[in-house]
Amino acid sequence: MELKNDVFIINYSENDKDFAKTLFNQLNENKKRVMDFFELDKVSKQTYIKIYDNLQDFINLRTENGKFPERYKPWNVASAVNGDIHILNFDLYKKAPNHENREFDDYLKTLVHEFVHVCHEEILKDKSIKPALLMEGIATKLAGQDNYQTNHISCSASELKTNFYNVENHYSYAYTIMEYLMDATSHSDLLEILKEPHKVDVEELVKNTNQYLENKQKDDLNNQEQSVK
């Protein structure tokens, strides 16, 4: 079964019919905000969204039918591939590790996260290079996944650059680095960075983010002291 408009096509099973309609409506409420951020009037093709009610089918997609088993982790619940989005239905999503207590709003944010990836890829100057740090940073930030905030980047820049998905708290680091960039950089300059994210100096970025976080904590402490007085 399908729901569609000029931007999205959602494919779903009969059991997910009511859920898919709610999801479709709420996703439409977010599409303009995301597309406007990337200064897109349209995407190059309709975004096909497949809602999976069978976990093995999703695993087969992630691993290309078992050829690349390392591409699937039990916490994987969604994926953007070639401008399409593949996502578990809400029941399977809540059964994935670290998702047991998630609500529908969290699920919606996951879907928006994947649509951010779709839009980001539209502006990449080299679509064959998709460094995870900034790709995941802008996706978590625009999706409003603020549960990924952190107060310090504790791993090395080289780990974030070359081994991102195996770094503990990787999404938290990506979110926080993007929060720094959005605060310290004009929107036009940020878009230029996001067009060629592979060119960013990750070591400098981590250093500047940690300094930003330290200054922010000092400001918060000063404000608390002033309020007491």
Among all chains, which residue has been given the structure tokens 């479709």? 24
Give the model's confidence band at 226: pLDDT under 50 very low, under 70 low, under 90 confident, else very high: low
13 phi, psi to nearest 5 deg: -90, 165
Would the pLDDT of 229 be above 60?
no
- 1-123 under CATH 3.40.50.11740, yes or no: no
Would the pLDDT of 221 be above 90?
no
186 phi, psi to nearest 5 deg: -65, 160
The tokens for 64 are 């290309």
The tokens for 193 are 């960075």
> By C-alpha distance, which of 85, 2, 6 is closest to 45?
6
- Considering the chain, tell me which residue range(s) the CATH 3.40.30.160 domain(s) occupy: 1-123
**The 2-4 sheet, strands edge to edge:** 2-4, 8-11, 47-52, 84-88, 78-81
Q: What does the DSSP assignment read for 85-123?
A: EEEE-HHHHHHSTT-TT--HHHHHHHHHHHHHHHHHHHH
Q: How many CB atoms lie within 10 A of CB 90?
A: 22
Say what the pTM is. 0.91
| DSSP bridge pairs for 9 | 4, 48
Q: What's the distance, Cα to Cα, between the start and end of the chain in Å?
A: 62
Give the model's confidence band at 185: pLDDT under 50 very low, under 70 low, under 90 confident, else very high: very high
pLDDT above 90: percentage of residues in the chain: 80
Rounded to whole angstroms, the Cα distance separating 143 from 132 reads 16
Would the pLDDT of 186 be above 80?
yes
Rounded to whole angstroms, the Cα distance separating 197 from 134 reads 6
Which segments of the chain does DSSP mark as H helices, in order?
17-37, 55-63, 90-95, 104-123, 132-142, 157-162, 170-184, 187-195, 202-228
Give the model's confidence band at 216: pLDDT under 50 very low, under 70 low, under 90 confident, else very high: confident
**pLDDT score for 36:** 97
